[in-house]
């Protein structure tokens, strides 16, 4: 039991790779072949070139060893390795996706798909078309229709609502403040009451405090104790 079992993989362009069985089994496709006893000779992989296959094997090696030796590689280190690993050009990235899909290597497929998703997340449709050479087969009217249906998604954000913070408060609360109460009673107020001596933050806190006092008085819902007794005494039986 001293020798480690190995399998032979052959890429589409004829390159031969010898890998440990445990590493190769990261690929569910290869795992299936091994378990069905079809793996005595070299396993041909016509959909994967040598260059890409070597990358996939690298990935599998890194990820097998970490699960073997009981997290000798911490999660952060593995993530950092993944980030380094996936820093390849776009064509290689897509070849890796195809290979991970064909060979059914879940972790690699996750990593590559997430990378592409992060790449396209912030882009506009025009940028996407340019980046991936996609032909726009909508007529201008059709495209306009789609944009209109989903208008909010196309809005450029950062719309600020308040220029100067105005606090709209209920009269009952404003009256808690004697000054304002006097102003109201003197019919001073048809519009906003300007409070020059008070900054926004302080005013906010004061309003909060007044609110609490008013709320505490008015707000408690009927406690369930009395509700339940209401039902027990409910004259409308049956």
Partner 1 sequence: MSSSMLNNLPEDVLMDIFARLPVKSLLQFKCVCKSWCNLIKDPIFITKHVNKSALGNNGYLAVTRQGSTFGGNCSISLISYETFHEVIRITIPSKEYGKAPFTIVGSCNGILCLNVTEIGDTNFLFNPATSEFKELPKPNYPIHELKEDTISDFIGLGFGYEPESNDYKLVRISYSKRLENQFYSGVDVYSLSTNSWRRKNRLVLGTVLVNSFSKAFINGALHWRGVTLKRGDVRCRIISFDVGSEVTRYIKLPYKIDLAKEEWWPFVRNGSLAMVIRSKTHEEHHYIFNIWKMNEYGVKKSWTKQLTVGPLFVLKLVECGMNEELLFATHSTMYLYDLQRIKPPHDDILEADIIGNNFVPWVEVVNHIESLVTIEGTKVYAKRVRKNSWFGKYFIFFQLLFGLVVMVAYVVILPKLIHFFYPTNVSE
Residues of span 115-174 touching partner 1 by CB under 8 A: 116-117, 120-122, 124-125, 128-129, 131-138, 143, 146-147, 149-155, 157-164, 168-170
Query: Of 21 and 102, which CB lies nearer to partner 1 in the complex structure?
Result: 102
Least gap, CB of 80 to partner 1 (angstroms): 21
Structure tokens at 127: 């940028």
Q: How far is the CB of 192 from partner 1 (least distance, A)?
A: 11
Site for partner 1 in 84-103 (CB under 8 A): 90-91, 94, 97-98, 101
Count of CA atoms in the C-beta half-sphere (13 A) of 114: 11
Q: Report, in Å, the least distance between residue 45 CB and partner 1.
A: 17
State how far the Cα of 114 lies from the Cα of 79, in Å rounded to an integer: 13
Query: Is residue 31 a contact partner of residue 66, using CB atoms and an 8 Å limit?
Result: no
Residue closer to partner 1, measured from CB, 33 or 93: 93
C-alpha to C-alpha distance for 229 and 131, rounded to whole angstroms = 70
Give the range of 35-43, 55-63, 75-83, 230-238 binding partner 1 by CB under 8 A: 230-238
Please report which helix (H) or strand (E) contains residue 226, including its range.
helix 224-232
Query: Binders of partner 1 among 39-68, rule CB under 8 A?
Result: none
**Helix ranges, 36-139 (H):** 50-68, 75-85, 90-103, 106-120, 125-132
Among 113, 181, 189, 202, which residue sits at the site for partner 1 (rule: CB under 8 A)?
113
Tokens of 128: 């996407």
Considering beta carbons, is residue 68 or 145 the nearer one to partner 1?
Answer: 145
The alpha carbon dihedral of 20, 26, 27, 30 has a sign of: positive
Can you give the length of the chain in residues?
Answer: 238
Question: How far apart, in whole angstroms, are the C-alpha atoms of residue 206 and residue 200?
Answer: 10
The Cα angle at residue 87 between residues 85 and 109, in degrees rounded to 5: 65
Judged by CB, which is closer to partner 1: 37, or 201? 201
Residue 77 or residue 106: which is nearer to partner 1 going by CB?
A: 106
The footprint of partner 1 on residues 191-220 (CB under 8 A) is 207-208, 211-212, 215-216, 218-220
Tell me the site size for partner 1, rule CB under 8 A: 71
Q: Which is nearer to partner 1, 49 or 65 (CB)?
A: 49
Q: How far is the CB of 41 from partner 1 (least distance, A)?
A: 28
């Amino acid at each position: 039991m001293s020798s480690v079992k190995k399998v032979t993989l052959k890429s589409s362009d004829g390159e031969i790779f010898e890998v440990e069985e445990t590493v190769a089994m990261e690929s569910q496709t290869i795992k299936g072949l091994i378990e069905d006893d079809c793996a005595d000779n070299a396993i041909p992989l016509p959909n994967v070139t040598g260059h890409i296959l070597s990358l996939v094997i690298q990935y599998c090696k890194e990820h097998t060893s970490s699960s073997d030796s009981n997290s000798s590689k911490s999660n952060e280190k593995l993530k950092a390795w993944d980030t380094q690993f996936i820093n390849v050009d776009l064509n290689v990235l897509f070849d890796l996706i195809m290979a991970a899909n064909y060979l059914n290597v879940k972790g690699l497929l996750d990593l590559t798909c997430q990378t592409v998703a992060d790449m396209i997340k912030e882009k506009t449709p025009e940028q996407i078309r340019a980046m991936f050479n996609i032909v726009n087969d909508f007529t201008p009217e059709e495209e306009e229709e789609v944009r209109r249906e989903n208008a909010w998604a196309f809005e450029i954000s950062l719309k600020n609502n308040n220029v100067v913070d105005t606090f709209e408060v209920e009269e009952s609360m404003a009256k808690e403040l004697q000054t304002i109460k006097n102003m109201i009673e003197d019919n001073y107020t048809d519009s906003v009451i300007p409070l020059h001596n008070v900054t926004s933050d302080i005013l906010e806190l004061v309003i909060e405090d007044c609110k609490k006092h008013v709320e505490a008085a008015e707000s408690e819902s009927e406690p369930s104790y009395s509700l339940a007794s209401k039902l027990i005494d409910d004259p409308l039986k049956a």
